[in-house]
Amino acid sequence: MPVPVHLIEGDYPKEFPSDLDSFPTVLDNEHYIDAWLLNSAFSSLSAIEGYLIGWRGNIERPLGTDIEGYNGVLDIPIPEAYYPAGLYCHAHDANLVAENIKADVDIFGVIGSLAGGGSHEAYFTSLLRANDGYWTPTVFQPSAGYTNFGYSTAINNAFLLFPLCFIPQGATITSATLLCHAAGNYNADTCNAICYFNAADSATAPTSVATADALSLTDGVVWSAIPHWASNTEYESPDLSSALQQVIDRPDYAAGSSVMLVIKDNGSTASAFRGMREYYQTTTIPPRLHVTWTE
């Protein structure tokens, strides 16, 4: 019969949770049953309990289910939960129906049935102060806080750049007008102007008298004998759709490009000019290009 030996506690290190703990293999009649054997087991059990308690919040998370977003809301909040594979998160919009989508266009599996693509309306603004301004034969003024056209002490011509024009190439412009607020009281007669668009695939604002004078232009729309303007009152230009149409019809124009309205003096009487609030004016709204179109 062999003489029992003592197992050495230090030979069995504790590694959990990064790795397994070490335990001896105890043999009847060969090893003494020492107290540390039970203590080692208790210590390991405590380490396991401590680990599980530390992560209890994760382990006991509620079981997640499919999630339905709110109508028309793009971002869908995901509540705290455990989500097993195979679940779905659904975004939906009650307007995503065939009759609201252009015929044969597939949007998330909904095939459109709208003949002709429907009519659209948008207001475009210049977005940056440098995108609108005016110039005389000798002075270029992109940030005066107002944009003039007509004749003050010299000829005044205005430019208004509208970035991010999302009208599709080839769309039919059914109306286009400039909406602007008077920068002051203008009571002098007779103010005459012609409105053009920059004949460019994607316009950029001029930076000098020379570049402004060199702008390529569409056909013009006459705006004659413009009535007096009262400060901060909103005014509307004549319909500019024929000029804007020439830009939208350009083969290399694309939705998202910039379009630029140019208003030139057309033989106004001395001192007969009109001034509009520029973008970033704090007391009123900026000039807006109001457009309706069909696709």
Partner 1 sequence: MAGYYHHLAAGDYIPAFPVSVDPLPALIQRRTFIDAWMFNLLFSRILAVQQYIIDNRTNIEA
Residues within the interface to partner 1 (CB under 8 A): 16-17, 19-21, 23-28, 31, 33, 37-38, 41, 44-45, 48, 51-52, 55, 58-59
Nearer to partner 1, 12 or 235 (CB): 12
CA 42 to chain centre: 60
| CA 200, 205, 207, 209 torsion-angle sign | positive
* Beta-carbon count within 10 A of 177 CB: 19
Q: How far is the CB of 1 from partner 1 (least distance, A)?
A: 15
Nearer to partner 1, 58 or 283 (CB): 58
Q: Distance (Å, rounded) from C-alpha 125 to C-alpha 160?
A: 9
Nearer to partner 1, 56 or 294 (CB): 56
Q: How far is the CB of 66 from partner 1 (least distance, A)?
A: 20
What the block records as the tokens of 222 is 């006459």
Nearer to partner 1, 70 or 82 (CB): 82
Q: How far is the CB of 114 from partner 1 (least distance, A)?
A: 45
Q: Distance (Å, rounded) from C-alpha 283 to C-alpha 275?
A: 15
Q: How far is the CB of 78 from partner 1 (least distance, A)?
A: 14
Nearer to partner 1, 17 or 227 (CB): 17
Nearer to partner 1, 16 or 166 (CB): 16
DSSP state string for the chain:
-PPPBPPPGGGS---TTTS----PPP-TTTB---HHHHHHHHHHHHHHHHHHHHTHHHHTPPBP--EEPPTT-S-----S-B--TT--EE---TT-SGGGSBTT-EETTEEP-BGGG-EEEEEE---SGGGEEEE-SS-EES-SSEEEEEESSSEEEEEEEEEEE-PPTTPEEEEEEEEEEBSS-B--S---EEEEEB-SSS-----SHHHHHT--B---EEE-SPPPB-TT-EEEPPP-HHHHHHHHTSTT--TTEEEEEEEEE-SPPTT-EEEEEPTT-SSSPPPEEEEEEE-
Q: How far is the CB of 9 from partner 1 (least distance, A)?
A: 13
Nearer to partner 1, 4 or 72 (CB): 4
Q: How far is the CB of 44 from partner 1 (least distance, A)?
A: 5
Q: How far is the CB of 256 from partner 1 (least distance, A)?
A: 41
Nearer to partner 1, 50 or 137 (CB): 50
* Beta-carbon count within 10 A of 191 CB: 26
Q: How far is the CB of 42 from partner 1 (least distance, A)?
A: 10
